[in-house]
């Protein structure tokens, strides 16, 4: 696997690999930034031409902003852009050393893609899945070689968040996991190793936490303002639970919580009734201008 | 840093333990005079040492000045004689978390201070209303719940009991807001009030998942720090709180609510039974004794760089 002799910001001593990113949405485009920034030959793949173009534009926009903000030199940004191509033809992924899957959260779709790739890429190619709530084992079962499939769960926004949760499926080989961790660390990511259990680490604790805060609000233990303020001032969280839910989006919280609940059948994961009411009302958070709080603009991460 | 105030100028603090020392520091830093009641000279000396160490850290970090440090120490006066509390305008009770101990000292203090002097408790897990019953003038009694370490944590919960007057709630909110960088949150007198009712089940959940081998203690903390931006991971937080303190609090809330989320996880009980209490014992979930000092056999191959 990749053994660069410098950090992800240096040009020299790289060992560029061919990395395919499947799905050019929020996460796929973010992961493509991570790969192209490290000057891996990056192929962004999507079935939808318009989504692919939007994803490529997102990646280019990210590099332009990085240069404006002095986070990246112009030559490095140009090199990063040059190392990225897009395609809607799966056959173009044949030379991939690593495949990172970030398509819709749909088990059948993810399995099918891995199965189709089996016939195209070498047997040594690593298959990474960015699933949040599906089982790595289930997705791996779509491949003839489940030992090469590893769960690599990035955080949104992938270019800025250092954490990647790494989870083996039942049949993941230790070489695949070790190579995956080496690769992720060469990208400047911090890896933690967890199990193929619903929610891995972050969502496993975040979802019941957010639900318990919503229940506290429902039961009159405090107001959204007082609960946010109390948590902020007592626990060292960067923002209160309702500010965070407004950024995540109530629809996304509902989806993730429900999927975890379906697997765990533990009531702590079940989204409290207020969630369904807010989704029904269209109060999804910042992206719709109103969630727990009202917003004048719908930008997600400020300017 | 110093804000002068005429409201509740002279405060009596009961107990100069972990919390009492921090609360005394915060109140004195706001320009108030503080009289602390402790059991004996040895405990006063230990408490003052804690207070001085905390101020030293603040000076070292540039959070306060040498002059301010000296002024704070001058404004905190310690005694083991109850009558010295007679002139105070407010009493903040922060003795050991034990209903009988708190009741006994509150009874005596209530009989010593003027009948209209507010008395507040820093209890974490007892009911404010229950503590108020039996006191002369339960309407002057409320909860004022600081977090550890009191000088650093911004949130202070103001907890009215069933009989607490709205005026007292207002005065306590104003008091908190006169303290440097503190935010008052008025909460109900429910087990764990607001923050602990949310925090304790979460911490228990983390300990159980650690025992269930979800990941190492370090990886759990790193995931939540990097993934969610938490300043401290939950297991390092437990080490800081003290595993015994957490066990006591969650056991009390479990008894008060019968809610299984408060049931202490087996690993927590075992760690406490084994004397692994976190930072204070030098051994916990994330804090470990250096291999040389370890009573447990450690093979040289297991040693990791300190
Ligand atoms: N959004 C998050 O915060 C987040 C965080 C971590 C992990 N995830 C996970 O990442 C994955 C992607 O999520 P997202 O938010 O980026 O979704 P998204 O809806 O933004 O993007 C999904 C993309 O996949 C494309 N796609 C669909 N079918 C495809 C196929 N057969 N081949 C190629 N491309 C296909 C779609 O056209 C779309 O562009 C999901 O598994 C999700 O659970 C999401
Ligand atoms: N430690 C925490 O994290 C924390 C946080 C918030 C609230 N609290 C609450 O604060 C209170 C104090 O907790 P602590 O952690 O400081 O305990 P502690 O054991 O550190 O200190 C308690 C002090 O009270 C003294 N004391 C006992 N009986 C006394 C009496 N009759 N008169 C005078 N002093 C007496 C003891 O000598 C001791 O120094 C408890 O109610 C606790 O629940 C603790």
pLDDT of residue A13: 46
Residue B259 CB coordination number (10 Å): 14
Of A152, A172, A194, at which residue does a domain stop? A194
Cβ pairs A/B, distance under 8 A:
122
Average pLDDT, chain A: 94
Is A165 one of the catalytic residues? Answer: yes
Cα separation, B265 vs B203, whole angstroms: 10
Residue B66, both tokens: 């040498």
Q: pLDDT per residue over A88-136, tens digit each?
A: 999 999 999 999 999 999 999 999 999 999 999 999 999 999 999 999 9
Q: Which of B194, B223, B238 best probes binding to A when mutated, by most A CB atoms within 10 angstroms?
A: B223
**Strands B119-121 and B90-93, bridge-based pairing:** parallel
**Closest residue to B215, CB basis, from A194, A212, A220:** A194
The verdict on the CB of residue B19 being under 6 Å from ligand 2 is yes
Q: Work out the percent of chain B whose per-residue pLDDT is above 70.
A: 93
pLDDT of residue B108: 97
Q: pLDDT per residue over B42-78, tens digit each?
A: 999 999 999 999 999 999 999 999 999 999 999 999 9
Cα separation, A250 vs A284, whole angstroms: 5
pLDDT of residue A138: 98
Residues 6+ apart with CB under 8 A from A98: A17, A18, A19, A20, A40, A125, A126, A128, A183
Provide the pLDDT confidence category of residue B290 given band limits of 50, 70 and 90. Answer: confident
With an 8 Å Cβ cutoff, the interface of chain A facing chain B consists of 155, 161-163, 165, 190, 192-195, 197, 200-202, 204-206, 208-209, 212-213, 216, 220-222, 226-227, 229-239, 268
Q: pLDDT per residue over A203-226, tens digit each?
A: 999 999 999 999 999 999 999 999
Q: Is the CB of residue B177 less than 8 Å away from at least one CB of chain A?
A: no
Could you tell me the distance, in angstroms and rounded to a whole number, from the CA of residue B109 to the centre of ligand 2?
16
According to CATH, what is the number of the domain B196-273?
A: 1.10.1040.50
Q: Contacts of residue A220 in chain B, CB cutoff 8 Å?
A: 188
- Identify whether residues A138 and A218 lie together within a single domain: no
Ligand 2 atom nearest residue B19's Cα: 16
A293 found inside a domain? no
Average pLDDT, chain B: 93
Q: Contacts of residue A160 in chain B, CB cutoff 8 Å?
A: none
Residues A205, B187: C-beta atoms closer than 8 Å: no
- Identify whether residues A129 and A207 lie together within a single domain: no
pLDDT of residue B305: 39
Is A130 one of the catalytic residues? Answer: no
Of A144, A171, A194, at which residue does a domain stop? A194
What's the whole-number mean pLDDT along residues B4-32? 92
- Identify whether residues A266 and A211 lie together within a single domain: yes
A302 found inside a domain? no
pLDDT of residue A297: 73
Residue A206, both tokens: 């975040």
A255 found inside a domain? yes
- Predicted confidence (pLDDT) at residue A21 exceeds the cutoff of 50: yes
Q: Where are the domains of chain B?
A: 5-186, 196-273
A300 found inside a domain? no
Ligand 1 atom nearest residue A109's Cα: 31
What's the whole-number mean pLDDT along residues A173-202? 98
Provide the pLDDT confidence category of residue A15 given band limits of 50, 70 and 90. Answer: confident
A294 found inside a domain? no
**Strands B33-37 and B10-14, bridge-based pairing:** parallel
Q: Contacts of residue B216 in chain A, CB cutoff 8 Å?
A: 193
Total domain count, chain A: 2
Of A166, A194, A222, at which residue does a domain stop? A194
The verdict on the CB of residue A261 being under 6 Å from ligand 1 is no
The verdict on the CB of residue A103 being under 6 Å from ligand 1 is yes
Cα separation, B282 vs B288, whole angstroms: 6
Could you tell me the distance, in angstroms and rounded to a whole number, from the CA of residue A109 to the centre of ligand 1?
11
pLDDT of residue A249: 97
According to CATH, what is the number of the domain B5-186?
A: 3.40.50.720
- Identify whether residues A208 and A179 lie together within a single domain: no
Q: Contacts of residue A208 in chain B, CB cutoff 8 Å?
A: 201-202, 205
What's the whole-number mean pLDDT along residues A254-258? 98
- Identify whether residues A74 and A190 lie together within a single domain: yes
Residue B82, both tokens: 């109850």
The chain B residue lying nearest A209, using CA atoms, is B202
Q: How far is CA A188 from the centre of its chain?
A: 16
- Identify whether residues A174 and A217 lie together within a single domain: no
The CATH number given to whatever domain includes residue A270 is 1.10.1040.10
Ligand 1 atom nearest residue A103's Cα: 24
pLDDT of residue A298: 58
So what's the ipTM on this one?
0.92
- Identify whether residues A172 and A237 lie together within a single domain: no
A298 found inside a domain? no
- Identify whether residues A189 and A47 lie together within a single domain: yes
DSSP string across chain A: ----SS-TT--TT----EEEEE--SHHHHHHHHHHHHTT-EEEEE-S-HHHHHHHHHHHHHHHHHHHHTTSS-HHHHHHHHHTEEEES-GGGGTT-SEEEE-S-S-HHHHHHHHHHHHTTS-TT-EEEE--SSS-HHHHHTTSS-GGGEEEEEEPSSTTT--EEEEEE-TT--HHHHHHHHHHHHHTTPEEEEE-SSTTTTHHHHHHHHHHHHHHHHHTTS--HHHHHHHHHHHH--SS-HHHHHHHH-HHHHHHHHHHHHHHH--GGGSPPHHHHHHHHTT--BGGGTBSSSB-S---SS--
- Identify whether residues A99 and A206 lie together within a single domain: no
Provide the pLDDT confidence category of residue A8 given band limits of 50, 70 and 90. Answer: very low
The CATH number given to whatever domain includes residue A65 is 3.40.50.720
- Identify whether residues A92 and A241 lie together within a single domain: no
pLDDT of residue B198: 97
Residue B242 CB coordination number (10 Å): 20
A295 found inside a domain? no
Catalytic residues of B: 124, 145, 157, 196
Q: Which domain holds residue A11?
A: 5-194
Long-range contacts, stretch A214-221, CB < 8 angstroms, 24+ apart: A214/A241, A214/A245, A214/A271, A214/A272, A214/A274, A214/A275, A215/A272, A216/B194, A216/B197, A216/B198, A217/A242, A217/A274, A218/A272, A218/A273, A218/A274, A220/B188, A221/B187, A221/B188, A221/B190, A221/B194, A221/B197
What's the whole-number mean pLDDT along residues B115-144? 96
The verdict on the CB of residue A142 being under 6 Å from ligand 1 is no
Cα separation, A65 vs A52, whole angstroms: 20
- Predicted confidence (pLDDT) at residue B5 exceeds the cutoff of 90: no
Provide the pLDDT confidence category of residue B134 given band limits of 50, 70 and 90. Answer: confident
Provide the pLDDT confidence category of residue A192 given band limits of 50, 70 and 90. Answer: very high
Q: pLDDT per residue over B213-266, tens digit each?
A: 999 999 999 999 999 999 999 999 999 999 999 999 999 999 999 999 999 999
């Amino acid at each position: 696997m990749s053994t660069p002799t410098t950090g992800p910001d240096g040009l020299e001593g790289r060992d560029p690999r061919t990395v395919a990113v499947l799905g050019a949405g929020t996460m796929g485009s973010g992961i493509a930034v991570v790969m192209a920034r490290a000057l891996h030959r990056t192929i962004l793949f999507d079935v939808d031409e318009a989504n692919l173009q939007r994803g490529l534009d997102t990646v280019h926009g990210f590099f332009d902003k990085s240069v404006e903000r002095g986070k990246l030199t112009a030559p490095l940004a140009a090199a990063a852009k040059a190392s990225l191509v897009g395609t809607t033809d799966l056959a173009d992924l044949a030379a991939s050393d690593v495949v990172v899957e970030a398509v819709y959260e749909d088990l059948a779709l993810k399995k099918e893609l891995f199965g189709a790739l089996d016939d195209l890429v070498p047997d040594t190619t690593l298959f990474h899945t960015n699933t949040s709530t599906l089982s790595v084992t289930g997705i791996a079962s779509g491949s003839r070689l489940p030992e090469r499939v590893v769960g690599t769960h990035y955080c949104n926004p992938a270019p800025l968040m250092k954490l990647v949760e790494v989870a083996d499926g039942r049949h993941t080989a230790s070489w695949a996991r070790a190579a995956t961790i080496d690769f992720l660390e060469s990208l400047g990511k911090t890896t933690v190793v967890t199990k193929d259990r619903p929610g891995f680490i972050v969502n496993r604790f975040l979802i019941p936490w957010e639900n318990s805060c919503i229940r506290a609000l429902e039961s009159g233990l405090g107001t959204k303002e007082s609960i946010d303020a109390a948590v902020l001032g007592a626990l060292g969280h960067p923002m209160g639970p309702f500010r965070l839910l407004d950024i995540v989006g109530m629809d996304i919280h509902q989806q993730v919580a429900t999927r975890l609940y379906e697997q765990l059948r533990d009531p702590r994961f079940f989204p409290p009734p207020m969630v369904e009411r807010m989704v029904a009302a269209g109060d999804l958070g910042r992206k719709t201008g109103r969630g727990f709080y009202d917003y004048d603009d719908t930008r997600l991460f400020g300017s | 840093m110093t804000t002068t105030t005429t409201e509740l100028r002279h405060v009596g603090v009961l107990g100069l333990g972990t919390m009492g020392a921090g609360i005394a520091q915060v109140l004195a830093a706001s320009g108030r005079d503080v009289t602390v009641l402790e059991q004996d000279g040895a405990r006063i000396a230990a408490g003052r040492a804690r207070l001085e160490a905390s101020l030293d850290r603040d000076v070292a970090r540039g959070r306060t000045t040498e002059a301010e440090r000296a002024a704070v120490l001058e404004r905190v006066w310690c005694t083991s004689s109850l009558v010295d509390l007679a002139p105070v305008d407010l009493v903040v009770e922060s003795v050991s978390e034990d209903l009988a101990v708190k009741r006994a000292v509150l009874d005596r203090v209530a009989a010593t201070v003027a009948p209209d002097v507010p008395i507040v408790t820093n209890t974490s897990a007892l009911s404010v209303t229950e503590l108020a019953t039996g006191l002369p003038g339960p309407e002057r009694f409320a909860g004022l719940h600081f977090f550890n370490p009191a000088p650093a944590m911004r949130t202070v919960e103001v907890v009215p009991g069933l009989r607490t007057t709205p005026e007292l709630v207002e005065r306590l909110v104003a008091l908190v807001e006169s303290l440097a960088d503190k935010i008052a949150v008025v909460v109900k007198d429910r087990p764990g009030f607001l923050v602990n009712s949310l925090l304790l089940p979460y911490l228990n959940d983390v300990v159980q998942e650690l025992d269930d081998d979800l990941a190492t203690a370090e990886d759990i903390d790193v995931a939540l720090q990097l993934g969610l931006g938490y300043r401290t991971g939950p297991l390092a937080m437990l080490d800081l709180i003290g595993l015994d303190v957490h066990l006591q609090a969650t056991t009390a809330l479990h008894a008060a609510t019968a809610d299984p989320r408060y049931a202490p996880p087996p690993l927590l009980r075992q760690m406490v039974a084994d004397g692994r209490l976190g930072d204070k014992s030098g051994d916990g979930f994330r804090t470990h004794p250096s291999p040389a000092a370890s009573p447990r056999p450690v093979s040289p191959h297991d040693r990791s760089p300190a």
